[in-house]
Structure 1
Amino acid sequence: MALGTLTIDAAGHPLQLSAQRAAFDPQHQSLFVADAHFGKDAVFRAHGVPVPAGATAGDLARLDMLIAAHEPRSIVFLGDLLHGRASLASETIDALAEWRARHASVRIVMVEGNHDRHAGTLPPSLGIETVLEPWLHGPWALCHYPQAIEGAYVLAGHEHPVYVIASRSDAVRVPCFRFGPHCGVLPAFGAFTGGFVVNQSADTSAIYAVAHQRVIAVRERRRAPARRDP
Structure 2
Amino acid sequence: MSEGRQAYCEVELAGERLWLLADKAVYWPARKMLIIADIHFGKAAAFRALGVPVPRGTTTQNLLALDALLATYACDAIIFLGDFLHARAAHAAATVAAMLAWRARHPHLLLTVVRGNHDAHAGDPAAALDMRMADEPHQVGTLAFCHHPDTPAAGYVLAGHVHPVFHLRAARGGLRLPCFLLGPGRAILPSFGAFTGGHAVQPAVDERVYVTADAAIFAIPR
Normalised by the length of structure 1, the TM-score is 0.90
The answer to whether the 8 A contact 2:14-2:143 is kept is: no
**2:164 equivalent to 1:161:** yes
Can you list the C-alpha shifts for 1:50-96, whole angstroms capped at 9, x where unaligned?
Answer: 21211110111010111111121110000000111111111211111
Q: CA deviation at 1:150?
A: 4.9
State, as a whole percentage, how many aligned pairs show the same letter.
43
**2:66 equivalent to 1:58:** no
Q: How many residues align?
A: 217
Which residue, 207, 210, 216 being the options, matches 1:208? 210
Q: CA deviation at 1:168?
A: 2.7
Amino acid at match of 1:29: K
Q: Secondary structure at the match of 2:192?
A: coil
| Superposition CA RMSD, Å | 1.4
1:8–1:43 distance in 2 versus 1, CA, 3 Å: same
Q: Supply the distance in 2 between the matched residues of 1:88 and 1:33 (Cα, whole angstroms).
A: 20
**2:55 equivalent to 1:44:** no
Q: CA deviation at 1:147?
A: 2.2
4+ residue runs of structure 1 moved beyond 4 angstroms? none
Q: CA deviation at 1:130?
A: 0.8
Q: Supply the distance in 2 between the matched residues of 1:9 and 1:147 (Cα, whole angstroms).
A: 20
Q: Supply the distance in 2 between the matched residues of 1:84 and 1:50 (Cα, whole angstroms).
A: 17
Which residue, 187, 200, 217 being the options, matches 2:190? 187
Normalised by the length of structure 2, the TM-score is 0.93
Amino acid at match of 1:17: L
**2:196 equivalent to 1:197:** no
Question: Residue in 1 aligned with 2:95?
Answer: 92
Question: Residue in 1 aligned with 2:26?
Answer: 23
Q: Supply the distance in 2 between the matched residues of 1:12 and 1:146 (Cα, whole angstroms).
A: 19
Amino acid at match of 1:67: L
The answer to whether the 8 A contact 1:34-1:78 is kept is: yes
Q: Secondary structure at the match of 1:191?
A: coil
Q: Supply the distance in 2 between the matched residues of 1:196 and 1:95 (Cα, whole angstroms).
A: 29
Question: Unpaired runs of 5+ in structure 1?
Answer: 221-230
Which residue, 107, 111, 115 being the options, matches 1:108? 111
Question: Residue in 1 aligned with 2:3?
Answer: none
